């Protein structure tokens, strides 16, 4: 079987939701031990991403994306922003109006608050860090209509590019902003209140969950603001101490 045939076969099984293939251990004396009696060994499906991947390659692969309905109302694709070798990556839900207009994540009111949180907390904790030192991206790259929560299919389609971004950067830690980002990266149905305050893992990368900055903009969320600052302080010390 040629490499192209193998790749197509793997893509076919992945579309069916198959995550593992099985092969049988080779039998030294085939007439002595029946093949059917051999124990199956799990073989993890290889990634469909290029062997040598880069953020530039991922952006090019996204192209002028029309893979889901979100492209119909977008102005610009919002790929990501920041240091391509960042030790800390922030992942949000999706672009808003300001982000859709500029093509840069977290530049509206929520983004300004996130910048203040990153730089303000770092300064108070004696850590030399600015927004430009981290990397910021979203689960979906196009703005959902009326800023609604992305649908599962939209998250699955864009998720392949988000995962590639994280694999390329290989940060020391990831900070998921809000329930949508947490569910996209960790799976499950738990929200921020249950997930925050402790470390999780995305593949082998430590991940912490905290509130989305847009949630913190609401005046009545005083306690959530305090908790978010604690979460961020924990993340910064873990990564930069």
Query: 166-186: per-residue pLDDT in tens?
Result: 999 999 999 999 999 999 999
Partners of residue 138 on adjacent β-strands = 92
Look at residue 221 in the predicted model and tell me its pLDDT: 84
Name the pLDDT band for 42 (thresholds 50, 70, 90). Answer: very low
Least confident of 5-9, 98-102, 128-132, 226-230: 5-9
Q: Could you tell me which residue, 21 or 229, shows the higher pLDDT?
A: 229
- pLDDT of 12 > 80? The answer is no
Look at residue 52 in the predicted model and tell me its pLDDT: 83
What domains can be seen in the chain, in order of their start residue? 3-44 (no CATH), 55-240 (3.40.470.10)
Q: How many CA atoms lie within 13 A of 60 on its CB side?
A: 7
Least confident of 25-39, 87-101, 177-191, 207-221: 25-39
Q: Is residue 42 within 8 Å of residue 20, measured between CB atoms?
A: yes
Compute the average pLDDT of residues 46-72.
87
Look at residue 50 in the predicted model and tell me its pLDDT: 65
Look at residue 188 in the predicted model and tell me its pLDDT: 87
Residue 207: CB atoms within 10 A of its CB come to: 23
Name the pLDDT band for 21 (thresholds 50, 70, 90). Answer: low
- Edge-to-edge order in the sheet of strand 199-202: 81-82, 135-138, 88-92, 173-177, 205-210, 199-202
Cα-based angle 191, 195, 197 (whole degrees, multiple of 5): 135
- pLDDT of 238 > 70? The answer is yes
Question: Mean pLDDT score of the chain, rounded to an integer?
Answer: 86
Look at residue 51 in the predicted model and tell me its pLDDT: 74
Distance CA 1, CA 12 (A): 15
Chain-centre distance of CA 5, in angstroms? 29
- pLDDT of 121 > 50? The answer is yes
Look at residue 7 in the predicted model and tell me its pLDDT: 58
């Amino acid at each position: 079987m040629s490499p192209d045939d193998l790749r197509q076969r793997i893509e076919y099984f992945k579309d069916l939701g198959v995550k593992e293939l099985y092969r049988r251990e080779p039998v030294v004396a085939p007439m002595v031990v029946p093949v059917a009696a051999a124990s199956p060994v799990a073989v993890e499906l290889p990634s469909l991403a290029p062997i040598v991947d880069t953020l530039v390659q991922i952006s090019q692969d996204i192209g002028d994306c029309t893979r889901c309905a979100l492209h119909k109302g977008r102005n610009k694709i919002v790929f990501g922003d920041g240091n391509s070798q960042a030790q800390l990556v922030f992942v949000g839900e999706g672009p808003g109006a300001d982000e859709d207009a500029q093509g840069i994540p977290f530049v509206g009111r929520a983004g300004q608050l996130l910048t203040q949180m990153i730089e303000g907390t770092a300064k108070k904790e004696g850590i030399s860090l600015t927004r430009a030192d981290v990397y910021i991206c979203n689960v979906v790259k196009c703005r959902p209509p009326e800023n609604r929560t992305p649908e599962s299919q939209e998250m699955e389609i864009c998720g392949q590019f988000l995962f590639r971004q994280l694999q390329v950067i290989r940060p020391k830690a990831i900070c998921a902003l809000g329930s949508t980002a947490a569910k996209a990266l960790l799976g499950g149905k738990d929200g921020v209140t249950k997930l925050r305050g402790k470390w999780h893992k995305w593949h082998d990368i430590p991940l912490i969950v905290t509130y989305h900055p847009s949630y913190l903009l609401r005046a009545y969320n005083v306690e959530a603001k305090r908790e978010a600052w604690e979460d961020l302080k924990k993340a910064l010390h873990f990564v930069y101490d």
